[in-house]
Amino acid sequence: MTTPSSVLFDVKDHVATITLNRPEVLNSFNQPMLDDFATIWRRCRVDEDIRAVVLRAAGERAFSTGVDRKAGRYRHPNPFSEDDPGFFLGAKQNRVWKPLICAVHGMCAGGAFYWLNEADVIICSDEATFFDPHTTYGMVSALEPVALARRIPFGEAMRIALFGLDERVGAERALAIGLVSEVTARDALWARADELAQRLAAKPPIAVQGTVKAMWEALGMSVAASREVPLHYPQIGNPLSKTEMGQTAKPSFETR
C-alpha cells in the first residue's frame, strides 16, 4: 500500500489505526483524502492480519468538519457519473466487515457523518459536538441524515439536518439518543478506543466479521428476509471458526 498523504495508518496487534491528519483544516476531506481512504479500506478488507479498525483524528479542535470547501474534490462533469464521497469514505460501502470503532472528539460535522454512519461502535469525548451545517449554507442535507436516521430516532436526525449551525448535539445528548455508546474524558479517548478494538481483535475473526455483515445487510431487508437471510451466515462462518467452549478462556467483563 502506498503511504497515505492525509492520514496516518498503522497496524499493531491485529488492529488498524487510522488517524485523520489535516488538523490545520479541521480534518476536512479533500480529493487526496478520499483517494487515501479508498486504498486504506481495500487494505483493511483483504489483509487478514487486520481484525478491527479504529478511526480517530489529530488536533484538538475537531474530529472532522466534512468536505474541505476551499480545496474541494473531483466532480465528474456528468452528474450521473459522479461519485458520492461515501463511496470512498464509507467502510461498509467498501465491503469492510472488520468492526470499525470511531473515536470522536471536538467538532464532528457534515460529511464527517459518512464515517459515523458506517461505524459499528462510536465513542466520544465529553467535549465532542455533532452538527450538520448544510442548510445554513443553502445546501440540501440528504445523504448524511438519511443514513443517520438508521442509527438514531428519525426526529433527532431530522432536527440535526434542519437546524444547521443553530444547534449542536453535545456528548451527553449523543449518548441519550444512541448516536454514541460511550463518553470518556478527552485524554482517555484514544486509549479506550484501542482497548475496545483489542477485545474485538482477540475474538475469532470469522465469527466477528460474519456478525458485522449479517447485522448491516439485514438493515435493508424486509422483516421476513431479515429472519431468513442471516441464517446463512452462521451456516457459513461457524464451521470455519467454531471454538469449543471448554477451550475458550472467559475474559473478565465490565458492566456498562
For the stretch 18-32, pLDDT in tens is 999 999 999 999 999
- Average pLDDT of span 239-255: 70
Whether 106 and 60 have beta carbons less than 8 Å apart is answered as yes
- Of 168, 171, 146, the residue nearest 157 (C-alpha): 146
Task: Find the mean pLDDT for residues 151-169.
Answer: 98
**How far is residue 146's CA from residue 143's CA, in Å, rounded to a whole number?**
5
> Judging by DSSP bridges, how do beta strands 100-104 and 62-64 pair with one another?
unpaired
pLDDT tens digits, one per residue of 145-159: 999 999 999 999 999
Checking if the pLDDT of 208 tops 90, the result is yes
List the alpha helices (DSSP H) in the chain: 31-46, 86-89, 113-116, 143-148, 154-163, 171-176, 189-201, 205-218, 223-228, 232-241
Separation between Cα atoms, residue 15 and residue 191, nearest integer Å: 13
* Distance, CA of 232 to chain centre: 25
> Per the structure block, which three cell numbers stand in for 212?
458485522
Q: How far apart are CA 138 and CA 30, in angstroms?
A: 21
Rg (CA), the chain: 18
pLDDT score at 228: 81
Name the amino acid, one letter, at 234: P
Question: Model confidence over 110-145: pLDDT tens digits?
Answer: 999 999 999 999 999 999 999 999 999 999 999 999
Query: How far is Cα 192 from Cα 206, in angstroms, rounded to an integer?
Result: 24
User: β-strand 182-184 against 129-131: which pairing, if any?
Assistant: unpaired
Burial of 198 (0-12, 13-18, 19+ CB in 10 A): middle
